[in-house]
Structure 1
Amino acid sequence: MNLLEHCLIPDWPAPKNVRTLQTTRNGGISAAPYDTLNLSSNVGDAPLAVARNRMLLEPMLPSEPVWLKQVHGVAVADAARAECWPEADACVSTHPGAVCVVMTADCLPVLLCNDKGSVVSAVHAGWRGLCDGVIEHAVHAMGMSSNTLMAWLGPAIGVQAFEVGDEVRAEFVAKDPQAVAAFVPGTSGKWFTDIYQLAGLRLNALGVTRVYGGGLCTYTDSANFFSYRRDSVTGRMGTFIWLDK
């Protein structure tokens, strides 16, 4: 089985030694509703199926990824020093061969690297973490001038499917008045939300102006992506980044 043909390679001008991989829902062995390449061991899938799916990734990765216990927070783990399952929603690496990964099924995965290819980061940006500053914490942990950084936004729930309440919009706007542009009126006090735009605003405010990707909707593309909001019980995709050894 050639798993790579079922994955996406981010299209961005990262240095050649910065390696990336975005899985889809296809190419694994998990049964419905986790069909087929579920990488999460915390969603009810058979443990042996998850283990086998992760093994399928081994030929494409230089080492075992640092799998995070994601909690919609802002903590950042160091891929070269983290112990098993650190509680964090972002991971940073300056060590060649150490693999950062975040898992998503509607939340926004963000990859970051610098121009010299000496530091990389993967960020799990659900609305809560995004609002509270997980991207800012990841950029700070990278320890580089923001104008040397670039970002790639992976598959996430699209604006036409992501409806939130007044309280979510109010939290974003309170922290950044420009965020009002990312919300379109929905029904009964709800708002359709552009999570890509919200992430872009945060990145731009940090000085990270080179932002690529976005536009792949997990909710509407059921053939390729898991979506928690669409299916409730479902798998998780992985977004990986590392420095070549």
Structure 2
Amino acid sequence: MSEDRYLFPDWPAPEGIRALVTLRAGGHSQGHFSSFNLGLRSGDDPDVVAKNRALLGEDWQWRHPPQWLKQVHGIEVVTAKPDNIEREGDAVWTDKPGLPCAVLTADCLPVIFCNQSGTRVAAAHAGWKGLQAGVLEATVKAMGDEPVRVMAWLGPAISQSHFEVGPEVREAFLKSDPQAEAAFIPGQGDRWYGDLYQLARLRLEKLGVTQISGGHFCTYKEKDRWFSYRRDGVQSGRLATLVWIQ
């Protein structure tokens, strides 16, 4: 297994919980998708993406293939199944060992979860639309444990200094929670810079999740490590964030 393909979360998860994020190096994709692109809808050759996913599986030898999602920027939470069938949703959870929960991102925020007893895990894809609509809250609810017993890790996403949004994005968050004002700084004209990490922390803390780690990355700035849709547009690959019970 090539260590240059993965980043491992630094979080106080119980023994037996494993997680990783794929880096962009060490795969088969070429050109703008170089090289470890896991996204079938990124515009890359599907056969090459399949080779990258096979490489991921060879590295980790899971009991079951990951539960991949057809992500739609919503709040649907899928229960993972070991049948290798892609399901529509933006979050996935399981209590089955050896069955990875996976989400794909390229600037959106991946969030992984586990409970303190190490018996349940989940992964969520939190772009600003899903985050504002409540995908994190829906994920914790689907896990079926008390929020105070759940911990979260915030993976690689675009940082505030590069996440420029229109006034409608800020207004949508403020309508849900006035405290979200602290996560926006003024840009040029009517534009704002939003902090996905701070917005996620506010949502999780309000829910009762207090053990929150991560949130120190920028997919836009670190071109050698991460794919970024905001930076590269439709020619951007996708990172995978996975969590599973050993």
Common fold: TM-score over 0.5:
yes
Instruction: Please report how far the alpha carbon of residue 161 of structure 1 lies from its aligned counterpart in structure 2 after TM superposition.
Output: 0.1
Q: Partner of 2:187 in structure 1?
A: 186
Paired residues of 2:106 and 2:239 also in contact (CA < 8 A): yes
User: CA separation in 1, counterparts of 2:105 and 2:175?
Assistant: 26
User: CA separation in 2, counterparts of 1:5 and 1:42?
Assistant: 24
Which runs of 4 or more aligned residues in structure 1 lie more than 4 Å from their structure 2 counterparts after TM superposition? none
Query: What letter corresponds to residue 3 of structure 2 in structure 1?
Result: L
TM-score, length-normalised on structure 1?
A: 0.97
User: CA separation in 2, counterparts of 1:119 and 1:24?
Assistant: 25
Instruction: Please report how far the alpha carbon of residue 97 of structure 1 lies from its aligned counterpart in structure 2 after TM superposition.
Output: 1.1
Q: Partner of 1:176 in structure 2?
A: 177
Equivalent position SS for 1:20 = strand
How far does the alpha carbon of each residue in 1:144-172 deviate from its partner, in whole angstroms, 9 at most, with x for none?
00110110000000000000010000000
How far does the alpha carbon of each residue in 1:204-238 deviate from its partner, in whole angstroms, 9 at most, with x for none?
00100111001110001001000000000110000
Query: Which residues in structure 2 correspond to 1:106-125 (within 5 Å)?
Result: 106-125=107-126
User: CA separation in 2, counterparts of 1:132 and 1:47?
Assistant: 31
User: CA separation in 2, counterparts of 1:61 and 1:120?
Assistant: 18
Question: Structure 1 82/188 Cα, relative in aligned 2: closer, same or farther at 3 Å?
Answer: farther
Paired residues of 1:3 and 1:56 also in contact (CA < 8 A): no
Q: Partner of 2:239 in structure 1?
A: 237
Q: Partner of 2:13 in structure 1?
A: 14
Instruction: Please report how far the alpha carbon of residue 174 of structure 1 lies from its aligned counterpart in structure 2 after TM superposition.
Output: 0.4
Query: What letter corresponds to residue 30 of structure 1 in structure 2?
Result: S
Instruction: Please report how far the alpha carbon of residue 69 of structure 1 lies from its aligned counterpart in structure 2 after TM superposition.
Output: 0.2
Equivalent position SS for 1:52 = helix
1:5 paired to 2:4: yes
Question: Structure 1 108/61 Cα, relative in aligned 2: closer, same or farther at 3 Å?
Answer: farther
How far does the alpha carbon of each residue in 1:51-85 deviate from its partner, in whole angstroms, 9 at most, with x for none?
11111111314121111000000000011377722
User: CA separation in 2, counterparts of 1:3 and 1:125?
Assistant: 28
Which ranges in structure 2 are unaligned for 5 or more consecutive residues? Answer: none
User: CA separation in 2, counterparts of 1:115 and 1:208?
Assistant: 11
Q: Partner of 1:60 in structure 2?
A: 60
Q: Partner of 1:84 in structure 2?
A: 85
User: CA separation in 2, counterparts of 1:36 and 1:43?
Assistant: 13
Q: Partner of 2:31 in structure 1?
A: 32
Query: What letter corresponds to residue 240 of structure 1 in structure 2?
Result: L
User: CA separation in 2, counterparts of 1:74 and 1:81?
Assistant: 22
**What percent of counterpart residues are identical?**
49
Query: Which has the larger displacement, 51-60 or 169-178?
Result: 51-60
Q: Partner of 2:147 in structure 1?
A: 146
Q: Partner of 1:167 in structure 2?
A: 168
Q: How many equivalent residue pairs?
A: 243
User: CA separation in 2, counterparts of 1:86 and 1:55?
Assistant: 19
How far does the alpha carbon of each residue in 1:16-74 deviate from its partner, in whole angstroms, 9 at most, with x for none?
11110110111101001100000011111112211111111113141211110000000
RMSD across aligned C-alpha pairs, in angstroms?
Answer: 1.1
1:129 paired to 2:143: no
Equivalent position SS for 2:70 = coil
Query: What letter corresponds to residue 15 of structure 1 in structure 2?
Result: P
Query: What letter corresponds to residue 141 of structure 2 in structure 1?
Result: H
User: CA separation in 2, counterparts of 1:115 and 1:61?
Assistant: 25
Paired residues of 1:161 and 1:219 also in contact (CA < 8 A): yes
